[in-house]
């Protein structure tokens, strides 16, 4: 815990940048200087920010794939079990179960489950929904959903020095550099 200006625990520091290019430049520069826990709040997905932050490719695709396979398998099981075990009914001499006629429902359930997995997985990985986050305390936070680009340097332990981080942000062109409390 590092003592902030008001004495409470510090989440990090943040400043606003005028455009995405300046934000990206500042992110790269701060990473070079050894700040590892960086984030940004932007009104749209900024191209190239993943590399600047060293973010890995989102694993959501695997989550959706697993859910899709489960959906298709579940649908096949459902159609086989209801049609041949729970309620076998001869209709036009057709077999109780056949793979061909089971394709449409299996496809639909695969898509349904994969879509839910993609959306719920995205929310879970992002820790949403949530009511509060320290970055909301920044005086320019509301600009970040309009036309502002917020750069956040998160505290990475007791050796974090907010004053030095603030200075770094200012020197890279950040405005309204502020300390964010937890």
By CB under 8 A, name the binding residues for other proteins: 19-21, 24, 39-47, 49-50, 53, 55, 57-58, 60-61, 64, 68, 78-79, 82-83, 86-87, 89, 91, 94, 98, 101-102, 104-105, 107-109, 111-112, 114-116, 118-119, 121-123, 125-126, 128-133, 135-136, 141-142, 144-147
C-beta closer to other proteins: residue 32 or 44: 44
C-beta closer to other proteins: residue 7 or 128: 128
Q: Which residues contact 129 (CB under 8 A, 6 or more apart)?
A: 123
Question: Does an H or E element contain 127, and which?
Answer: none
C-beta closer to other proteins: residue 34 or 129: 129
Q: How far is the CB of 49 from other proteins (least distance, A)?
A: 5
C-beta closer to other proteins: residue 64 or 168: 64
Retrieve residue 179's tokens. Answer: 């300390």
Q: Which residues contact 17 (CB under 8 A, 6 or more apart)?
A: 23, 26, 148, 149, 150, 151, 173, 174, 175
Q: How far is the CB of 175 from other proteins (least distance, A)?
A: 16
Q: How far is the CB of 4 from other proteins (least distance, A)?
A: 21
Alpha carbon dihedral 13, 25, 37, 152, in 10-degree steps, equals 30
DSSP assignment string, 59-121: THHHHHHHHHHHHHHHHHHHHHHIIIIIS---STT--S--HHHHHHHHHHHHHHHHHHHHHHH
Q: How far is the CB of 17 from other proteins (least distance, A)?
A: 12
Q: How far is the CB of 35 from other proteins (least distance, A)?
A: 14
């Amino acid at each position: 815990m590092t003592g902030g200006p008001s004495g409470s625990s510090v989440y990090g520091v943040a400043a606003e940048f005028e455009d995405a290019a300046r934000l990206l430049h500042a992110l790269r520069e701060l990473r070079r200087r050894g700040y590892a826990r960086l984030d940004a709040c932007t009104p749209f997905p900024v191209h190239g920010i993943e590399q600047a932050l060293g973010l890995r490719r989102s694993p959501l695709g695997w989550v959706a794939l697993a859910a899709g396979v489960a959906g298709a398998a579940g649908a096949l099981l459902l159609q086989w079990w209801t049609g041949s075990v729970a309620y076998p009914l001869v209709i036009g001499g057709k077999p109780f179960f056949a793979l061909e006629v089971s394709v449409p429902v299996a496809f639909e359930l695969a898509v349904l489950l994969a879509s839910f997995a993609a959306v719920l997985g995205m929310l879970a990985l992002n820790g949403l929904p949530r009511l509060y986050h320290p970055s909301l305390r920044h005086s320019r936070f509301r600009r970040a959903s309009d036309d502002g680009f917020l750069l956040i340097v998160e505290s990475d332990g007791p050796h974090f020095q907010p004053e030095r981080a603030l200075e770094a942000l200012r020197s890279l062109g950040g405005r309204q550099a502020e300390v964010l409390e937890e």
